[in-house]
Structure 1
């Protein structure tokens, strides 16, 4: 990756959940002499609607959980590595040497040791941001969060390309973001003006 300005950047995510409000129902005014019957009918209808809506929400929630469980973690944790970038060079890459890896564009990276790996990653997700941009959000376990916080604290003080952190999957660099600041807490955002397909591809590369 020759141009560090084009490298994605790590930053802490901001989350905001949607706000939900339940519908308000109002039945028609009861006709004279049939008030009790109409009231029972309206209550029965409301009960059916509430039960039906609850079933849809529960089913969607179960489907979402199943999908997340099957795709959110790296399939082969040992094949996902987080390594410091020591040197980055453009051109045709030959990764035959130890400690060297290439990206899909042919950029050559000399890398440091493995600082943490996919076993520390508990979730990987492509998320829509503002202004039609997408990003990839990673969540780390407690050990990974501590390691990542210490690592990014150090990297943020360095100059390019030593402030880049390569994500290496099966020996290939899938991303080498620039670390702008320390990132404690284990919530990691990779942002680079991604389109939806770009973000989904990076998430799929990491999860395998």
Structure 2
């Protein structure tokens, strides 16, 4: 077995320490994620993401302008995996192995929630300082954010309002909420959410094919023709 790089070893140590901090809140380590199951099959996910090429060399100075250099850095992502939300964009596909924040419709950087910034931490900074800083952000902001959407009831009640009035994470919150409503068998409310989404979208259309996608999706899901 190939020996882990120094950066990977450092990230392992940081993750182990954060796993210890979050374990009292119900999170368990799986791969590069910390996972908690709520509402029977909803997953709350805290994921550590290493900068690309953490095993190889960073770009040379003459090529540094080609992309941001995240070599030797990492960030923290938050996600909430709801099966029916995943089904909207991945019909008929069941994720295998570890579910990560990339599978989540409710998804954000920890730093976006805390400061509206994209923060990457240096792996060579003292581990204790990194764990103290990130652990405090998780406990005081990140985990409470995940907890706000820990059930289908709270997603239906708050997800659209959160994106409209607090922090825009996704422009399709109504569609995802409609998937939860549909799973509950509330076809009328799901269709209304689809129509409200189209009304909002048509005020500032950006993708010429999006309206067709929404109407075709409504038909595929059995919602019928949308009346907007």
Give the structure-1-normalised TM-score: 0.21
Give the structure-2-normalised TM-score: 0.19
Q: Specify which structure has the higher proportion of strand.
A: 1
Larger Rg: 1
Q: Specify which structure has the higher proportion of helix.
A: 2
